[in-house]
Structure formats: structure tokens, C-alpha cells
Amino acid sequence: MKDNNKVIIFDTTLRDGEQAPGASMNQTEKLDIAYALERMGVDIIEAGFPVISKGDFNSVKMVSKHIKNSTVCGLARSIVKDIDAAYESLKNAKKARIHVFLATSKIHMQFKLKKTKEEILRMAVDAVKYARNKIEDIEFSPEDASRTEKQFLYKILEAVIKAGATTVNIPDTVGYAVPSEYGQLIADIKNNVPNINKAIISVHCHNDLGLGVANSLFAVKNGARQVECTVNGIGERAGNASMEEIVMGLRTRPDYYKCTTNIKTQEICRTSRLVSKYTGFVVAPNKAIVGMNAFRHESGIHQDGILKERTTYEIMKGEDVGFVETGLILGKHSGRHAFKVRLNSLGVNLSDEELNKAFEHFKNVADKKKEVYDEDLLAIVDDEVKVFDKVWTLVSLSSRTGTNIKPKVDVALKSKGKIIKKAASGDGPIDSCYKAIESIVKIKGELLDYSIRSVSRGQDALGEVTIKVKLQGKTIVSHGTSTDILEASAKAYINAINKFLALESAK
């Protein structure tokens, strides 16, 4: 029996989220995120748009092969070749869905598709029937539904449900809707589509006016029972409705929404960090739910209230979304067993080989820091374990820089047991360091973006450098951590080169 109070979470981080400029991920990174989504309890993972490229096809195929608990979905236009590609990519999925879409608004039909209403209706029905002959679970989206003439929208929804669609999605494709209007649209669909009880109403809201989450929640209040969203709200233009905000909105206000989800909320922050790391998109400190300041209080009045009664200024607990408690955890005298136990408590389980790599890095960090925090441990694991095979490793570096001094950096790298040393000068120590590395590895890159953040607190905090670099036409996002910013920058660039070489080798 269908639970009318259950909201299905349809995550499209790997498809719509990846459409954000610069957010491209490789297959290994996509699979890591798919595992994280499955671990979190996401009901449906939209893994890609199979027909659009060989890379997308293989990504959907790979996710289908490995994900067992979540339904894996592939997107398709209302075209036979798209549906065929989606079906082929989903063959190995334990639970599969094909998501078919076709624009229905007057502006899209007139200027993009150059089709009449009758032609659009026929194409939609034919596509759903064709897809339904291949897979039972079919979703149909009338693209730009929020700007579609209502009577035509009702008609096309009735027709595709009759043709076999089990979910009908109502996209606010360009983020044009406002909450009361969009909520009313969902209510009107329930009241005017005769066979709507045979399908689940889904919503997909973009954030162009900053209303993606609000529109989604208003839709739930009015009867929608599937929400399409992304981790951290990433996506094209201003992004999509944020998964973590929708989930915690429903969880925090059950009195109002009277709905639940299957999401294990303690996994939210961990997954947010992973998506941020792989896309290179830093989460803003004031971002709801997952921002670093989301559960911090500086105001004296707030601190006083929190100490007396937490609920005076907190409507959620940080631990409910997996926020790591900041405190002294380990030091330079800590052993491998204590290190492993602490990582396990943070939800990190490593193989013996991975543990050895991470522990060695931890000891190096512990020698430089008086206090090692949980955030540091997670950064160490990300930096040391979640990287490609290390063709090149950093042996040492030194720099000479200052006011009125031309910067110069000496770098020593190791590969296949051989150490190579080079020095270079440039526009600052980072530029000099990268030029020295390039002269060693014989690969020249174009630095597209560079950012740095403090992983934890204190003057000796680990710094995490994130770079986006173009190497022989490929855009690579990479990271490096150290208490020394120049060393973190060097590690990030070397990791990018190793990542590029691994991708080239995989060809």
C-alpha cells in the first residue's frame, strides 16, 4: 500500500547538478557520490543523460551496476534513440527508471520545438508507450510546466498516465514560479486530471529567484509526493532546490507538512562535503543546514540562551545532520588503533592499505599541530586516500620571497624511485611553485580557479587548497592539505597531474 505521507527523494546531483558550469565529474567521482546517496537513503538517483555522450552513458551504466538499494534513473528526450540509450545504460540496474521529458509551454513549443499542441501530445504519448515497453517505472516531465497553459497541461498529463507513466513531474524549469502560485498548480492538477491517482506527482524547481526550496515545500503541502533536488543545491544557472534544506524542512516541521522521508540525515554533511570536494564548489559559511556557521553562535545573547536551553536559538541539532563536533581528538602520540576507531566513529572505513597511507599523513600533521580535530582527520583522509595512483609525489620544496624580492621556489618530486629537482621564478610563490612542477612533469596547465579555506580552527589549522586546472584540454578539480599553504598548493597541483595521468592511462 502506498504511504501518502512519504515524500520520495529524487536526487539529480549526478545529472542536473553536473550541468553547473565547471562541475564536471569523472566516473570514479560519480560512483563515490552515488554510494554516498545510497548510504543516505535517497530513493532515486538520476545518474545522467545517457544519449548525450559516451561518458554519461558509461556513468549511468556503472552506477546501475553498483547501486542496489536506490532506483537508478536515466534521462531521455521523447525520442526513440534517447530512450534506447537510457534502457541500454540501465540494463544492469536492480531497480531502474526512465525519465522522459518534452517541452509543453507555448514559448518552448513555438520557438524551440516549432511544434503544435497536437504534435507535442502525440510525441509525449508515443515516447511513454515506447519506454513503458522496456521498463515499468516511467516518469514523464512536461518541461517548463509552470509556464504551460493549464488546460493543455492537464490534457497531456492525463494522456501520459494513460500511456503508462507512473510518475508525472511538474518542472519549474526556469525558476519562474512563486510558492503560492506553484502550490496552487499542484492542487489544480490533483483536482483536474481525472486519472492522477494512478501516478505520483513530482516537482523539480530551479532556484533562479531563490525560491526553489520554498516552491518544492509548497508543492508537498499541496499533494506532491516526490521532490527532485540536488546536494548543496548545485545545478545549472542558479542551481536546483537544495536536498538538505527540503529534507530538514520536512523533518523539523512535521506538525505542518505531516510528511516523512527515508533520508538518514546524519549522512547529510558528509555527502555535502564530498560533492563540494569533487565539484570544487565551496559551500558558503551561511548556507542553511551544511554551512560551517549553520550551528555556530557568536552573539552573547544567543550563547547565553543556548547554555540555558538549546531550543531557544536552535531548531535542529548539528549532530542530526552529521555535523562533526569540534574538539581535541588525537595527537602525535596517538596510535594506529585509536586513529582507526576515531575514523570509524566519523563514518570512515578504510582498507588496511588506505589506513596506512592516512595514518602516515596524520602523524606528519600531528607533528606540526598541537591539536588535531575531526575536521582535520576527514581532510587527511580525503587528501591521502581519495586520490588517483601517485605517479608523482612531493619530496620537498623551499621558497624565497618577500617585498622587492623576485620569488623563487625549489621543488623536488619523486617518480618510480627517481627524485627530480627544479627551481622556477614567477608572479608570486604559487606561480613559481607551479612552474617548477611543470618543468619536472613536462605537462603545462592553465590554472582556472584557486581557493583556500581553513579546515579547522587555530593558527596551526590545516589549510585546504582547491584548484581547477586545464591540462591538455581536460578540466581537473583537485585538492591538497597542509599546515603550510605553499605545500598544500603544491599537493593540489600534483594531485591534479596524477589525476590527469590516470585518466589518460585509462583510455
**In this predicted model, what pLDDT tens digit does every residue of 266-290 receive, in sequence order?**
999 989 988 988 888 888 888 999 9
Q: Range with the lowest mean pLDDT among 223-232, 376-385, 401-410?
A: 376-385
Burial status of residue 290 (CB atoms within 10 A of its CB: 0-12, 13-18, 19 or more): buried
Which range among 81-85, 110-114, 155-159, 308-312 shows the weakest confidence by mean pLDDT? Answer: 308-312
Q: What's the pLDDT at 336? A: 82
DSSP string covering 376-388, please? HHHHHHHHHTSS-
Same fold, 8-279 and 393-506: no
Give the model's confidence band at 116: pLDDT under 50 very low, under 70 low, under 90 confident, else very high. very high
Nearest of 206, 344, 347, 210 to residue 269 by alpha carbon: 347
Cα-based angle 345, 351, 356 (whole degrees, multiple of 5)? 90
Residues 6+ apart with CB under 8 A from 255: none
Residue 442 has pLDDT above 50, yes or no: yes
pLDDT at position 316, please? 80
Least confident range from 238-242, 297-301, 376-380, 489-493: namely 297-301
Angle in degrees, CA 195, 196, 201, rounded to 5: 160
- pLDDT band at residue 149, thresholds of 50, 70 and 90? very high
| CB neighbour list of residue 282: distance below 8 Å, 6 or more residues apart | 276, 451, 453, 466
pLDDT category of residue 310 using cuts at 50, 70 and 90: low
In the chain the first and final C-alpha atoms are separated, in Å, by 48
Q: What are phi and psi of 15, to 5 degrees?
A: -115, -75
- Give residue 299's pLDDT band: very low, low, confident or very high (50, 70, 90): very low
Lowest pLDDT segment from 211-215, 325-329, 494-498: 325-329
Q: pTM (2 decimals)?
A: 0.80
For residue 328, the model assigns a pLDDT of 44
Min mean pLDDT across 27-31, 345-349, 496-500 is at 345-349
pLDDT tens digits for 213-243?
A: 999 999 999 999 999 999 999 998 999 999 9
Confidence bin at 326 (pLDDT 50/70/90): very low
Q: Which residue has the higher pLDDT, 506 or 105?
A: 105
Q: Is the pLDDT of residue 393 over 60?
A: yes
| 99-113, 306-320, 340-354: least confidently modelled range | 306-320
Q: Spell out the domain ranges in the chain.
A: 8-279, 293-323, 324-384, 393-506
Are the C-beta atoms of 464 and 384 separated by less than 8 Å? no
Whole-angstrom CA distances from 94 to 61, 131, 132 are 12, 17, 17
pLDDT at 2: 61
Q: By the 8 A CB rule, do 103 and 109 touch?
A: yes
Per-residue pLDDT, averaged over 142-164, amounts to 97
Helix axes 150-163, 117-132, angle to 10 degrees: 30
What is the model's pLDDT at position 317? 83
Judged against a pLDDT cut of 70, whether residue 58 lies above it is answered with yes
Instruction: With cut-offs at 50, 70 and 90, classify the pLDDT of residue 502.
Output: confident
CA nearest to 241, candidates 224, 217, 264: 217
31-45, 218-232, 377-391: least confidently modelled range: 377-391
Judged by average pLDDT, the poorest of 336-345, 415-424, 430-439, 452-461 is 452-461
pLDDT above 70 for 324 = no
- Residue 179 is predicted with a pLDDT of 98
> Does residue 368 register a pLDDT over 90?
no
Give me the mean pLDDT over the 196-201 stretch. Answer: 98
Tens-digit pLDDT profile for residues 257-267 = 999 999 999 99
Mean pLDDT of 2-12: 90
Q: What is the mean pLDDT of the chain?
A: 88
Chosen CATH of 8-279 out of 3.40.50.800, 3.30.1330.10, 3.20.20.70, 3.40.50.150? 3.20.20.70
Which CATH number is 393-506 given? 3.30.160.270
Q: Which of 165-174, 469-478, 484-493 ranks highest by mean pLDDT?
A: 165-174
- Backbone torsions φ then ψ of 293, nearest 5 degrees: -95, 0
Which strands sit side by side in the sheet containing 474-482, from one edge to the other?
445-454, 463-471, 474-482
- Say whether pLDDT at 383 is over 90: no
Predicted local confidence at residue 28, as pLDDT: 84
Q: Can you give the length of the chain in residues?
A: 507
